[in-house]
Structure 1
């Protein structure tokens, strides 16, 4: 009976631990800011931003140290606003090479309190697109801006396959039986 509970979780708004944009755009030479929203339970955890595949030895990563303090790494900065459960990442002096996939995440593995275990960090992927010319000086995303887009993706990637799986199970259980005990069908 775990299936109805799983379906209920998929229908509850805000059941995702971390939310933000799926795509942001900026202009060469300008700046770009991304605001990521998280749940209250992650208030004391470190937040980070990195270029995919997020391997610290090969790609730069910027992460928070304490609340409300901006941390810089090269042209990137991050600040955790625990009062409104968001953190903001800013990329300055954008170049065409900054286009790519990034990760907005929360470092949860092996925390001191309760040892979260080996579950992966909550994160979402952000596609950064940098154009050569635009009338905009900077680009900023705030929570709620693409919530319809995220809801649609949740529907496609989670709810539809789960519904099809449940439908298949119901059809399998209710399939007509061809053989009757001890009797065979006429040829």
Structure 2
């Protein structure tokens, strides 16, 4: 799986323009804050928080999103605020319930390919979160499940297929224009020879 990540980074360096905590934990009835960072150049882009489902997180499925400004936007128990100076936007989930647990995406909305990071939210009273980010120092990093890479791999293969098709179309167009120019040249040569023949 790492080779696909390397290829994605080479072909699409924007894929890693957004980074998140990876996993957060909060107790039922409590709150948790998720801080996602982004690279320079995306300050004025809308930031979003949504539940993972499919390849993309379309606007219709965004739980909450900014309009590109630093103003806080709140929707129900979820709020989001962007800080252009620190290039960090914070998503706060309040009054957590068991139903809030799951895989979410924090990201930057732009036309075409979305920039995003995956965040696993766990709601459990067994290990209360001592900090806002919900990270516990004793927690071991779990290996990414293969199912998370499948949408990325499929999307990567589709993009490569489109690039190959585009390249073949360009090659065919160049060959066709070359053949057309040769035919025109051949048609013009007899006409010139006929004009140069002396009249008897």
TM range (shorter): 0.5 to 0.7
Indicate how the Cα distance of structure 1 residues 103 and 15 shifts in structure 2: closer, same or farther if over 3 A, else same: closer
- How far off its partner does 1:123 sit? 0.4
2:109 maps to 107
2:43 maps to 43
2:118 maps to 125
| TM-score, normalization by structure 2 | 0.55
Gaps of 5+ in 1: 1-5, 110-118, 158-187
The whole-number CA distance in structure 2 between the counterparts of 1:87 and 1:62 is: 12
| TM-score, normalization by structure 1 | 0.59
Report which structure shows greater RCO (CA 8 Å, sep ≥6).
1
1:180 maps to none
Matched residues, number: 131
1:83 matched to 2:85? The reply is yes
Q: Segments of 4+ in structure 1 off by > 2 A? A: 54-57, 65-68, 132-139
CA contact (8 A) 1:31 1:92 kept: yes
Gaps of 5+ in 2: 1-5, 150-200
1:69 maps to 71
Cα RMSD (Å) of the superposition?
A: 3.3
More helix by share: 2
CA contact (8 A) 1:28 1:133 kept: no
CA contact (8 A) 1:79 1:89 kept: yes
CA contact (8 A) 1:19 1:124 kept: yes
